[in-house]
């Protein structure tokens, strides 16, 4: 059985198929990760951090090689893929650099009592990471970086279309000196992964993917009393209330929509523009979106078919689509949907591709209402020249993240995650390292 395969989305050509793991191999992977935990956790934080630092360094040194693989797997331009890999390296380096401070004992101030107390962070054991195809290196770094410095061990199940990059990344861990069993890559089926989640040796699960996958994983984990971190879909609003540079604002909205060919959970998928700026904005936004054409393919035939169906249903329900041409293979031209009413399926769906939709609102209150009128709550973008309004609206948005007057501002130190059907838990920053930690309280009598 070859569930894992590299199929070049630009041509549809099968590059290479990889054998799916046997049940025995999956059990051996779990045993290896669980067995390696004690020795890995027994190392000092500084010792683990030094190895994780090497993982980050190797990502940056070998970024060109890994970028070429990512391009073959999911169509990302090599320059963008190299940037992703280098950012992944920076994430490993961030946690290596800050590990001792992030994992230091945290004193507790006692009231009317003698002695002392503190929280000592410690590892929990072997963890399972289930990662998607759209950022094959970055997603792994977000999960593995903090957990390895904590002392947890990692089993990594990547998307079936990313077997080559997942193997290359596993090789980087080995080259950096990560002991055997501390980072284990497996080509497992969904059925096998269900058994892995249920295995008592697995202490937690982190998934980045679809709502459907998140619900399935959370159900199994819940039955087995396992903690889960879920980073799921998004339909992030880009809210424009005022600007002193319309062209720059339009450029930001375009970039935030079509970066990674629009295949990002935190892309700016719904643009919400106040009435007085709408006509100018929508004209310039549509012009630049349409002019972008189809510079890169979507990741797969399945992704193209899903987006095509969504667009067909949106237009059939009354939306207007401006685009530069027809879909050709997996090459989907950029486009803009307008006249998307609440009864249109596109109003509440996540469009995973280079298609934006623009909405007109009367005022700030209407913008907030529309922005929050979605099943998702991952990120949001807010553009305004009024600093008080910026913080007021940011507080009212039902999302896990708000970026004010800027896009592409992600950084290793900034927590990433959402609310509602976008999942729960956080990755990156000081919050991301705390998800799979035993926060052990130690009390010493006076």
Catalytic site residues? 231, 265
Sheet containing 227-231, strands listed edge to edge, beginning at the edge strand earlier in sequence: 183-186, 153-157, 126-130, 202-208, 227-231, 423-424
286, 320 in Cβ contact below 8 A?
no
Distance CA 355, CA 353 (A): 6
Longest dimension (CA), the chain: 76
Q: What does DSSP say about strands 126-130 and 335-338: parallel, antiparallel, or unpaired? A: unpaired
Sheet containing 438-444, strands listed edge to edge, beginning at the edge strand earlier in sequence: 106-107, 116-122, 438-444
Strand partners, 153: 126
340, 347 in Cβ contact below 8 A?
yes
Strand partners, 4: 18
Distance CA 202, CA 182 (A): 13
**How many Å separate Cα 392 from the centre of its chain?**
27
DSSP, collapsed to helix, strand or coil, labels residue 330 as coil
């Amino acid at each position: 059985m070859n569930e894992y395969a590299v199929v070049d989305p630009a041509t549809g050509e099968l590059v290479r198929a990889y054998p799916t793991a046997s049940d025995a191999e999956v059990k051996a992977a779990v045993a290896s990760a669980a067995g390696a935990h004690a020795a890995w956790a027994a190392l000092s934080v500084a010792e683990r951090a030094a190895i994780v630092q090497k993982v980050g360094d190797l990502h940056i040194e070998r970024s060109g090689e890994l970028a070429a693989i990512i391009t073959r797997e999911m169509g990302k331009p090599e320059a963008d893929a190299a940037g992703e890999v280098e950012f992944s390296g920076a994430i490993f380096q961030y946690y290596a650099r800050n590990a001792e401070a992030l994992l230091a004992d945290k004193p507790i101030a006692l009231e009317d009592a003698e002695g002392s107390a503190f929280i000592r962070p410690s590892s929990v054991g072997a963890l399972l990471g289930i990662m998607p195809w759209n950022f094959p290196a970055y997603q792994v770094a977000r999960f593995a970086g903090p957990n390895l410095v904590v002392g947890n061990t990692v089993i990594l199940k990547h998307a079936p279309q990313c077997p080559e990059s997942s193997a290359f990344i596993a090789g980087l861990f080995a080259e950096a000196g990560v002991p055997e069993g501390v980072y284990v890559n497996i080509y497992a089926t969904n059925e096998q992964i269900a058994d892995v989640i249920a295995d008592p040796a697995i202490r937690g699960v982190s998934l980045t993917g679809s709502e459907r996958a998140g619900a399935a994983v959370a159900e199994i984990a819940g039955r087995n009393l396992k903690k889960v971190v879920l980073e799921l879909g998004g339909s992030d609003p880009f809210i424009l209330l005022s600007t002193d540079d319309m062209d720059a604002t339009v450029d930001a909205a375009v970039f935030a929509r079509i970066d990674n060919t629009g295949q990002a959970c935190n892309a700016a998928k719904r643009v919400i523009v106040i009435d007085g700026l709408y006509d100018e904005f929508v004209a310039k936004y549509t012009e630049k979106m349409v002019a972008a054409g189809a510079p890169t393919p979507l990741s797969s035939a399945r992704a193209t078919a899903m987006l095509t169906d969504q667009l067909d249903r949106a237009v059939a329900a009354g939306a207007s689509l401006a685009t530069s041409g027809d879909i050709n293979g997996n090459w989907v031209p950029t486009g803009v949907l307008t006249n998307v009413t609440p009864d249109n399926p596109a109003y509440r769906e996540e469009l995973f591709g280079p298609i934006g939709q623009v909405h007109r609102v009367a005022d700030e209150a209407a913008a907030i209402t529309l922005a929050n009128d979605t099943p998702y709550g991952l990120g949001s973008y807010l553009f305004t020249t009024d600093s008080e309004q910026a913080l007021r609206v940011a507080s009212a948005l039902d999302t896990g993240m708000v970026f004010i007057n800027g896009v592409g501002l992600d950084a290793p130190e900034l927590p990433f995650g959402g609310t509602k059907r976008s999942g729960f838990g956080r990755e990156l920053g000081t919050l991301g390292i705390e998800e799979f930690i035993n926060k052990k309280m130690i009390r010493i009598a006076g």
